[in-house]
Each structure stands twice: as C-alpha cells, then as structure tokens.
Amino acid sequence: MDSYDIVFLWYPDWIGAMPMPVFTFLESYNFNWKTIIPFCTHGGSKFGSSISDIKKIRPKAYIKEGLAVRASNVGNAKDEVDVWLSKFGMLKQ
C-alpha cells in the first residue's frame, strides 16, 4: 500500500454500510494523507453510513466525492462512471 497515493475503494452497500472486510482493510493499512475515492453499488441505500464511517476510521485521509450506483443499473452506468472518473483525470481517451 505504501506505493499508492490514490485508492479507489469499491464495496457493495450491506445493511446500510460497508461490509466488515472493508472496515478491516481500512484499519489494516496507513491511509494518512492518501486519497480515498469511494465507489459503491447498492439496492437503494446509496452510500448509507459508509462515507462518515470512512472519515471516522481514517480522519487523516483525503476523501473525494464518491459514486453510488444502483446494482440493477450497473450495466447502464458507463456514462455516469466516465463523467465521475473524468473529475479525477482518470478517464482514458
């Protein structure tokens, strides 16, 4: 993890929050001054408590604007994902 400054963090919304292994992942590495970009799929709850949970676990990380996509709409989400990725200069032309 030391060699990464920007981490895209994907997780499904489970019971309105991140799955426990994602909490463990965030707790297992030093994220101080790293950028975390959250991306979640969900059935209607969007991010749930996940953004505030990430901020609580990792107060010294930079948390960027994430994207929540309804799981049933993943197949149609390319344009939305592209717009979002382009905000971070991550979209390959």
Q: How far is the CB of 65 from ligand FMN (least distance, A)?
A: 19
Nearer to ligand FMN, 57 or 77 (CB): 77
Tokens of 43: 């059935």
> Residue written as tokens 């297992």?
28
73 CB-contact burial (10 Å; exposed 0-12 / middle 13-18 / buried 19+): exposed
For ligand FMN, the binding residues (CB under 6 A) are 12-16, 41-45, 71
Q: How far is the CB of 10 from ligand FMN (least distance, A)?
A: 10
Nearer to ligand FMN, 12 or 59 (CB): 12
Q: How far is the CB of 51 from ligand FMN (least distance, A)?
A: 14
67 CB-contact burial (10 Å; exposed 0-12 / middle 13-18 / buried 19+): buried
